[in-house]
Amino acid sequence: MTVDENNLLEFYQVALTTLDEKTLARELRPLEKMDNSYPKYLLTLDEIDKNKCYNGIMKKNVLEWLVEKNK
């Protein structure tokens, strides 16, 4: 969990990779259980499906995310 520049909550789950379906399901589960409308992100080193959305949970490549955050 973090607070963005507008003092809004954001939730993050971090995994090395989620290319395996079981790993993806395991990493999404905690975010899916949250009953709120705050942004939720899954950060990985994956290059495949690196900007995919899973029921409102945005998967992002962590390296690209870091560059984006530091602009």
Query: What pLDDT is stored for residue 1 in this prediction?
Result: 65
pTM: 0.88
| pLDDT tens, residue by residue, 26-65 | 999 999 999 889 999 999 999 999 999 999 999 999 999 9
Cβ atoms of 45 and 38 closer than 8 Å: no
Phi first, then psi, for residue 29 (nearest 5°) are -50, -50
HSE, side-chain direction, 13 A CA sphere, residue 66: 7
Could you tell me whether strands 9-14 and 2-3 are parallel, antiparallel, or unpaired per DSSP bridges?
antiparallel
Place of tokens 């990779």: 17
Place of tokens 């259980």: 33
